Amino acid sequence: MKLFVVAGEASGDKLGAALMAAMKEMAPGVEFVGIGGPAMQAEGLDSLFAMEELSVMGLAEVLPRYRALKRRIAQTAQAVIDTAPDALITVDSPDFCLRVARIVKAARPAQKTVHYVAPSVWAWRPGRAVKMAEVIDHVLALLPFEPPYMTAAGMSCDFVGHPVVAEPRATEAEAIAFRETYMIGPDQPLALCLPGSRMSEVKRLGARFDEALMQLRDRDPGLRVVVPTVRGVAKLVRDMAARWPVAPIVVEEAGDKRAAFAAADLALAASGTVSLELAANRTPMVIGYDASFLSWHILSRMLRIDTVTLVNLVSETRAVPEFLGPACRSGPMAAALLDLLEDPEKRAAQMAAMELTMQRLGAGGAPPGQRAAQSVLTFLNR
């Protein structure tokens, strides 16, 4: 069996690597070709070119590289056509991957195609599923409510679980050690500040999040704040944090970040999958997010749901307070954080929602990579 696997960014590289590892166990002798990062290469993929060439987001970044990306789309599609694999498996990065699939399907209509990570058509632009069905046969979904949207558009689809359920978490001993390292007492409240992983997010949300936490500190002077960050924005975060009236603890290493998530009592976070990481650690949270006036005006008109927080959506509750667009202000966010510290009922409601979310995302079952591999094999053997 030969599979052509394409991933275009770090999150897709992890998903692809877990799928490849499970495929090697379930289908000995399977061969992989395609595009991937270090995780997929560690599983035996000889990448056609560096995956980082595809890891661009936003109009300002894409436009200067449009011609180069277009060449890479054509090159990848031709490689699939020449390889004639048992399946083309594309992982997330729909702007690149689905263009590749379209060219391949035009040349080889019988080529079987699988896309890993369903588009969020339940939130906005539902027509994307119908368009995707023109070139994709089977979908691997991360969220339990997504398959009906895919099958309604004409694709087969399996829920395979979200990778957050398989990610390592810090132990209680590691959480205690983290507090001791930074001289945070066992009864001192510890808050996480998570203003995003992109430059634009950190610049837009950082000051507001700090102001909200300062208001919380006015009520409880013992409050300590940790800002977990990632390499791409670490310098910006450290420079920004140095200007805050009370300097937070900034951590970048993966082990420190896991320990901080486990040690924290609550979090103020930008909207995104980080809400699931917090839920996995049972860290109560408040969500805030804003964009430029024009972007928010367009997005708010397109949204088809009343909450964007995945914990709320998966648990079918509204336990996590969120402050989006014009509502993303320090005062209301500080009040919601205070409620989580002082109101046992609101804290308990979030704990229950987080527990239910993890159950529904596949915690305690087979790892998502194994479920994804089994779904691919079942699809190919149909």
Q: Tell me the pLDDT tens digit for each residue of 220-229.
A: 899 999 999 9
pLDDT for the residue numbered 345: 96
Question: For residue 346, which of 318, 315, 313, 316 has the smallest C-alpha distance?
Answer: 318
Residue with tokens 């702007």: 95
pLDDT, greater one: 137 or 244: 137
CATH superfamily of domain region 2-161+364-380: Glycogen Phosphorylase B; (3.40.50.2000)
Position 60 pLDDT exceeds 60: no
Determine contact, residues 58/35, Cβ cutoff 8 Å: no
pLDDT for the residue numbered 55: 63
Position 379 pLDDT exceeds 60: yes
Give me the mean pLDDT over the 329-339 stretch: 97
Beta strands in the chain (DSSP E): 2-7, 31-35, 87-91, 113-116, 138-141, 156-159, 190-194, 224-228, 249-251, 266-270, 285-289, 322-324
| Distance between CA atoms of residues 257 and 263, nearest Å | 10
The amino acid sitting at 111 is: Q
| Distance between CA atoms of residues 240 and 344, nearest Å | 33
| Distance between CA atoms of residues 257 and 286, nearest Å | 18
Query: How confident is the model over 270-329, as pLDDT tens digits?
Result: 998 999 999 999 999 999 999 876 777 777 777 788 899 999 999 999 999 999 999 999
| Distance between CA atoms of residues 176 and 235, nearest Å | 27
pLDDT category of residue 139 using cuts at 50, 70 and 90: very high
Give me the mean pLDDT over the 175-182 stretch: 97
DSSP state of 47: B
| Distance between CA atoms of residues 261 and 355, nearest Å | 16
Percent of the chain predicted with pLDDT > 70: 96
pLDDT for the residue numbered 63: 60
CATH number of the domain at 172-360, out of 3.40.50.2000, 3.40.50.300, 3.30.420.40, 1.10.3720.10?
Answer: 3.40.50.2000
pLDDT for the residue numbered 165: 96
Percent of the chain predicted with pLDDT > 90: 81
Alpha-carbon dihedral angle through residues 53, 59, 65, 66, given to the nearest 10 degrees: 110
Alpha-carbon dihedral angle through residues 239, 240, 243, 244, given to the nearest 10 degrees: -140
Average model confidence (pLDDT) across the chain: 93
Q: How distant, in Å, are the alpha carbons of 185, 224, 265, 286 from that of 179?
A: 7, 10, 12, 22
Beta strands in 305-382 (DSSP E): 322-324
pLDDT for the residue numbered 331: 97
Question: For residue 371, which of 160, 90, 107 has the smallest C-alpha distance?
Answer: 160
pLDDT, greater one: 296 or 155: 155
pLDDT category of residue 10 using cuts at 50, 70 and 90: confident
pLDDT category of residue 58 using cuts at 50, 70 and 90: very low
Q: Tell me whether the CATH fold assigned to 2-161+364-380 matches the one assigned to 172-360.
A: yes
For residue 147, give the 3-state DSSP assignment. Answer: helix
pLDDT, greater one: 291 or 13: 13
Position 44 pLDDT exceeds 90: yes
Domain residue ranges in the chain: 2-161+364-380, 172-360
Residue with tokens 């011609």: 67
| Distance between CA atoms of residues 230 and 238, nearest Å | 11
pLDDT category of residue 174 using cuts at 50, 70 and 90: very high
| Distance between CA atoms of residues 227 and 207, nearest Å | 13
